[in-house]
Amino acid sequence: METSAAYLERKHRELALIDACLATPLQFDAPASAEAMIERKFKLAGALRAERSLESWAITETARPEAQRWRSGAYRFSYEYQRADLHVRGPAIYDVAGAADGIVRQETVYTGSGMSAISVIITALIRVRGELDVIAPPGCYGETRELLESLQERVAIVPSDRRDGPIRRAQSRTRVLLVDSCVADDFGEYRVATDIDVVVFDTTCFWQDSGRIRVVIRWALRSGLPVALVRSHAKLDSLGIEYGRLGSVVLAWRPQDKSQAWMKKLLRATEDSVRLYGVAAIPAHFPPFTGTAQYRACSRARTAAIIRNTRRMARELSSRMSGRCAIRTFQHGLYFALVPGDDMPIDDVKRAAASLSAALGRLKLPLKHAGSFGFDFVAVEWFFDAILHRNLLRIAGADLPAPLIDRIVDSIDEWWTAHRMGTASRRAAGAVAERAVSAP
């Protein structure tokens, strides 16, 4: 278990990464507590964003920098009107070549968010390949499913839980395997899909160097399948401060595979989708403190700590609330969910999330009402579980010292008990417990 002193020393290295990006680094003492560290990090991030905004005040949507290439940390940008042709040179997001064990071509297209990344690759596939059958896992990201359903005239969603393999509707349709890092469990189930044309992999819930990303890339390319990796970089990739909205699409394929010709077309169609839908990335949203070995070491340690703490919270609450609450866990280990005893309407669950965060805020604990994950504070929000078909209370773990995590667990347990959130009929509670995944 990491000591509080080791935690603060590690977090100070993160602060130093951000501070070093300022024209005149700020002089500050090392924070003596997790709460002070969180506050200092956000202040540094605010100072950095303000400084970069002042430096680029004359750069608008239609007025590009006088310099041929604009720089932000490890990234170089070149573009003309409204960033429609934005070209980014920077560090590779994934070690695709290493995972592929051979010659592989990869191209990266940046977008304005994670959802714009998945949107442009799906629309580009439609333009290049026509109608799609998307093999989607149960419990895939809700907005991704909503996007696919909105394109129902060109896209059919095929469940991925058919053990005999999904059935092709027509030979003219392209089969897209959607692999989603946010699914609750059975992440490896993608291997049972058959007769695939291309793999689309949302990696958002895994750190960039995750072994699971490497496994999917290796499996796809060895199977002769091109892969499109889509990602939101506002989650795990900006040291917990959500520096800016940023997404990416990384296309990877082997030059010798039969997909070579149409993957080149898909790259051009993806770039065209970014241009036509106006979802190009904003250069100011690229964190200047990323792209170095030191940054990757810090982020890797942060992600590992978040996973440890999330699992610690789920395990402890599952033990304490046995018989009073089912705990819904997820294979990525970034958040879990508490299942209320009653099937609560969405507005009631939203009010519960606000009430819990306010109660722990009054105790000066680092827990906030926030609809994302990957922070240095614990985040609480309502959550609709597509598997249970229930509104739940999602708890996103944080990079905090273990003793502080334990205090937060104590307070969540006390709040849950005081508000009788686990009260329900024995039959209803048992049914939910059977469907919920037990804590690790």
Tokens at 320, concatenated: 């304490």
- Please indicate whether residue 225 or residue 257 has the higher confidence score (pLDDT): 225
> Where do the domains of the chain lie?
4-55, 70-285, 306-435
Token couple for 135: 């093999």
- Cα–Cα distance measured from residue 21 to residue 73, given in angstroms and rounded to the nearest whole number: 8
Say which residue the tokens 């309502």 belong to: 382
Q: Tell me the average pLDDT across 409-416.
A: 95
pLDDT recorded at residue 161: 58
Q: pLDDT for 384-410, tens place per residue?
A: 998 888 999 999 999 999 999 999 999
Strand order in the sheet with 326-329: 326-329, 335-339, 390-396, 378-385, 367-369
Q: Rounded distance, CA 416 to CA 292, Å?
A: 43
Percent of the chain with pLDDT over 90: 68
Residue environment code for 133-157, b if the CB has 16+ CB neighbours within 10 A, otherwise e: bbbbbebbbeebbebbeebeeebbb
Give the pLDDT score at 333.
Answer: 95
Interatomic CA distance for residues 323 and 216, integer angstroms: 38
Given the candidates 3.40.640.10, 3.40.50.12780, 3.30.450.20, 3.20.20.10, the CATH classification of the domain at 70-285 is 3.40.640.10
**Quick one: 384 exposed, middle or buried, by C-beta within 10 A (0-12, 13-18, 19+)?**
middle
The stretch 160-178 carries a mean pLDDT of 68
Q: pLDDT band for position 428 (50/70/90)? A: very low
Per the rule left: phi > 0, alpha: psi between -120 and 50, beta: everything else, 83 is left
Question: What are the angstrom distances between the C-alpha of 105 and each of 48, 118, 227, 263, 395?
Answer: 35, 20, 11, 10, 39
Instruction: Please tell me the predicted confidence (pLDDT) of residue 311.
Output: 97
pLDDT of 269? 97
Per-residue model confidence (pLDDT) at position 438: 39
Report d(CA 269, CA 274) in Å as an integer. Answer: 9
362 CB-side CA count, 13 A:
8
- The answer to which of 13-17, 157-161, 326-330, 388-392 has the lowest mean pLDDT is 157-161
What's the whole-number average pLDDT of the chain? 88
State the alpha helices, DSSP H only, in 325-419.
Answer: 346-362, 402-418
380 CB contacts (<8 Å, ≥6 apart)? 353, 356, 357, 367, 368, 369, 370, 393, 394, 395, 396
pLDDT, position 58 = 65
Question: Is pLDDT of 15 > 90?
Answer: yes
The domain 306-435: what is its CATH number? 3.90.1150
Whole-model pTM: value is: 0.90
247-263: per-residue pLDDT in tens?
999 999 998 888 888 99
Q: What is the mean pLDDT of residues 188-194?
A: 78
Question: Which residues have CB under 8 Å from 132's CB, separation 6+?
Answer: 122, 125, 126, 154, 155, 156, 173, 174, 175, 176
